[in-house]
């Protein structure tokens, strides 16, 4: 199955905040930074279910 044939389901979105989510968001932010994407407080993220994997991307 090619990447174009993969099924994708949006699970929801979140907003980067300074609350208890910050430890997870920090790890995600670091991964985004490695890819050249800067995620800051107030940015929206989307959670997707893709081929049995949960994927987090900028919205």
The Cα angle at residue 53 between residues 56 and 31, in degrees rounded to 5: 35
Structure tokens at 21: 């989510």
Percentage of residues of the chain with pLDDT beyond 70: 73
| pLDDT tens per residue, range 15-40 | 767 655 545 667 777 888 898 988 77
- pLDDT at residue 1, as a whole number: 44
Cβ of 16: how many Cβ atoms within 10 Å?
A: 18
Q: Give, in degrees to the nearest 5, the angle at Cα 10 between 13 and 45.
A: 30
Domain boundaries, the chain: 3-58
Q: Given this model, what pLDDT does residue 13 score?
A: 75
The rounded distance, in Å, linking the Cα atoms of 12 and 51 is 16
């Amino acid at each position: 199955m090619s990447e174009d044939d993969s099924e994708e389901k949006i699970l929801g979105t979140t907003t980067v905040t300074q609350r208890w989510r910050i430890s997870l968001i920090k790890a995600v932010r670091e991964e985004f930074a490695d890819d050249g994407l800067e995620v800051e407080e107030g940015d929206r993220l989307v959670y997707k279910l893709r081929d049995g994997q949960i994927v987090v991307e900028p919205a």
